[in-house]
Amino acid sequence: MNNGLSTDHLLGIKYLTKEDIDLIFQTADSFKGVINRPIKKVPALRDVTIANMFFENSTRTKLSFELAEKRLSADIINFSSGASSVSKGETLVDTVNNILSMKVDMVVLRHPIPGAALFLSKEVDARIINAGDGTHEHPTQALLDAYSIKEKLGEVAGKKVAIVGDIKHSRVALSNIYALQKLGAEVMVCGPTTLIPKHIAQLGVRVEHNLKEALEWCDVANMLRIQMERQDISYFPSIREYTMQYGLTKKILDGLGKNIVIMHPGPINRGVEITSEVADSDQAIILDQVENGVAIRMATIYLLAAKIDRV
């Protein structure tokens, strides 16, 4: 008997159980069926209103949440910090409470400060979904990544996944580590010493500094971009040198003697962490990840909406 999610909010993968993730995946399977029908919509959340609050730039996550909400027939409002009264000094809590007083039930929050979603969940009366909080977590990205691995390889358990690049500044890396481990995968992080947090091995991940060794080991390589916007000092001599050591080319892939799956959360910096030839190859499932993002976000919103008192 399934009693729904164990949590009232989606703040991070850290706070989900394996059963929660399995339930989100099962629900996403149903919604994937819906979004591939001629009429890509269900009336499930006609009585729910959701505010999408983005304090940081986004293409994929923002549009994917908005589409997921529309496919569920929820009412939505979109908030961008640049065009708001935040610039006049209003706090996050005051801003959100003003929005909630317009009878909003759920907030999807992207914010540059780690812990912003957790903080908000304690301060306001609404379901909160973390759409990326600084360098901390990006739970729906990790869910759609793991779901895409399952779809491609049949299972996540037992698979070897290498996360390559700027691990230090990546919320995608941390959320992926939690999600993949909860589902029984082995995880390796690979990158220059300066871009790998010192104590990351304590999370039970392997650490590798040689790209070819990482690729020889893994079934799936998740290539991350360098998060220049979060770096106030230089962590490597130049982009060119980073690319020479960690850029994934077709020549490297073809030299492996096996077919690995290539993932990327986007946005891609073509020619830096991955060449166009690899990003557009049959081994890459980058656009499948984006497609699955809508089903995963529909599932997450739907399951959290069940926690709202709607009478």
Select 6 or 59, whichever has its Cβ closest to ligand CP: 59
To the nearest whole angstrom, how small is the minimum distance from the Cβ of residue 305 to ligand CP?
22
Using the contact rule CB under 6 A, the part of the chain among 196-204, 210-218, 248-256, 263-271 near ligand CP is 263-271
DSSP state of 10: B
Per-residue b or e along 83-96, where b marks 16 or more CB atoms closer than 10 Å to that residue's CB: eeebeeeeebeebb
Residue 230 touching ligand CP (CB under 6 A): no
Tokens of 65: 């949440």
Site string for ligand CP, 118-137 (x = CB under 6 A): --------------x-----
Secondary structure (DSSP) of 221-274: EEEPPP-GGG-SS-SSS-HHHHHHHH-B-HHHHHTTSS--EEE--S---BTTTB
Using the contact rule CB under 6 A, the part of the chain among 65-73, 183-191, 229-237, 265-273 near ligand CP is 265-273
Q: What are the two backbone dihedrals, phi and then psi, of residue 7, each rounded to the nearest 5 degrees?
A: -130, 155
Contact pick of 12, 139, 165, 266 for ligand CP (by CB under 6 A): 266
Strand partners of residue 161: 187, 220
Contact pick of 135, 141, 181, 275 for ligand CP (by CB under 6 A): 141
Residue 78 touching ligand CP (CB under 6 A): no
Cα–Cα distance measured from residue 231 to residue 292, given in angstroms and rounded to the nearest whole number: 30
Residue 76: its H or E element: strand 75-80
Using the contact rule CB under 6 A, the part of the chain among 28-36, 52-60, 176-184, 190-198 near ligand CP is 52-60
Select 24 or 44, whichever has its Cβ closest to ligand CP: 24
Tokens of 55: 């304090």
Residue 140 touching ligand CP (CB under 6 A): no
Contact 185, 244 (CB under 8 A): no
Contact pick of 26, 59, 194, 210 for ligand CP (by CB under 6 A): 59
Residue 267 touching ligand CP (CB under 6 A): yes
Contact pick of 27, 49, 52, 61 for ligand CP (by CB under 6 A): 61
What's the count of helices (H) and strands (E) in the chain, helices before strands?
A: 11, 9
Using the contact rule CB under 6 A, the part of the chain among 56-64, 198-206, 219-227, 230-238 near ligand CP is 56-64
Candidates 277, 253, 246, 278; CA nearest to 263 is 278
Cα–Cα distance measured from residue 168 to residue 232, given in angstroms and rounded to the nearest whole number: 13
Residue 176 touching ligand CP (CB under 6 A): no
- Total residues at interface with ligand CP (CB under 6 A): 11
Select 208 or 222, whichever has its Cβ closest to ligand CP: 222
* Footprint on this chain of ligand CP (rule: CB under 6 A): 58-62, 132, 138, 141, 265-267
